């Protein structure tokens, strides 16, 4: 009977150490990121395909290249997998606006003390507003096969390269809690 009680006590003490490890500040479940990027898929395909942006005119002062802004939220299931959502906004002068919302998943495939490498995928819908009232919902997606996070446990910077409606190159700041 004594051996049984000692084995149970040892098992419970190990379970307690695992719980403390996840809550001790070494593993944060929530992540909020704010980023911006360059050259989204909406800039190239949607505007050109629907004829809203006249590419033959070139890039004039009235047609500046927009700088999209995105906000991401992730809930980390463990150190490798995180699920969440992202919202992004783009504006082309006074003529066009894009607002998208997508659920997303992130897989961190390399962890070091201050560096992580990851891939992420997202799919959803985007609302495209045009001044000529030709508004519509269009598919919204982002696939980033390579991303890097650098920094400390709470604050990190990130850059990812991908294809989609957010950006081909995106960077920003991450806060984990």
Question: Is 84 inside a domain boundary?
Answer: yes
Task: State the total domains in the chain.
Answer: 1
pLDDT of the residue at 42: 63
For residue 110, what are the domain limits?
28-176
Determine, yes or no, domain membership for 20. Answer: no
Q: Dihedrals φ, ψ of 123, to 5°?
A: -150, 140
pLDDT at 136: 85
Instruction: Work out the number of other CB atoms within 10 angstroms of the CB of residue 28.
Output: 14
Instruction: Give exposure, 94-127, as e/b (b: 16+ Cβ within 10 Å).
Output: eebbbebebebebebeeeeeeebebbbbbebebe
pLDDT tens for 98-147 read: 899 999 999 999 988 899 999 999 999 999 887 777 788 888 899 999 99
Q: What is the pLDDT of residue 78?
A: 92
Number of H helices, E strands in the chain: 3, 8
pLDDT greater than 50 at residue 168: yes
Residue spans of alpha helices (H) in the chain: 2-23, 41, 47-50
pLDDT tens profile 63-77: 556 678 999 999 999
Percent of the chain with pLDDT over 70: 70
Residue 129, in any domain of the structure: yes
CB of 140 within 8 A of CB of 163? no
| The pLDDT value given to residue 25 | 47
**DSSP SS3 for 153:** coil
Stretch 50-71: mean pLDDT, rounded? 59
pLDDT at 29 over 90: yes
* The pLDDT of residue 70: 93
List CB contacts of 16: < 8 A, sequence separation 6 or more: none
Distance in angstroms between the alpha carbons of the first and the last residue of the chain? 44
The CATH number assigned to the domain holding 92 equals 2.40.160.20
Name the pTM for this structure: 0.73
């Amino acid at each position: 009977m004594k051996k049984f009680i000692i084995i149970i006590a040892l098992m419970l003490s190990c379970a307690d150490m695992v719980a403390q490890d996840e809550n001790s500040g070494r593993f944060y479940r929530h992540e909020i990121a704010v980023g911006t990027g360059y050259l989204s898929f909406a800039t190239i395909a949607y505007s050109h395909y629907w004829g809203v942006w006249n590419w033959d005119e070139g890039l004039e002062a009235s047609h500046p290249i927009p700088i999209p802004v995105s906000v991401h939220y992730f809930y980390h299931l463990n150190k490798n997998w995180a699920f969440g959502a992202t919202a992004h906004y783009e504006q082309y002068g006074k003529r066009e606006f894009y607002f998208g919302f997508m659920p997303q998943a992130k897989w961190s495939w390399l962890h070091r003390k201050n560096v992580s490498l990851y891939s992420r995928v997202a799919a959803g819908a985007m609302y495209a507003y045009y001044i000529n009232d030709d508004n519509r919902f269009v598919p919204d997606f982002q696939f980033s096969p390579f991303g890097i996070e650098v920094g400390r446990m709470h604050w990190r910077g990130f850059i990812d390269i991908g294809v989609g409606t957010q950006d081909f190159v995106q960077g920003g700041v991450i806060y984990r809690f």
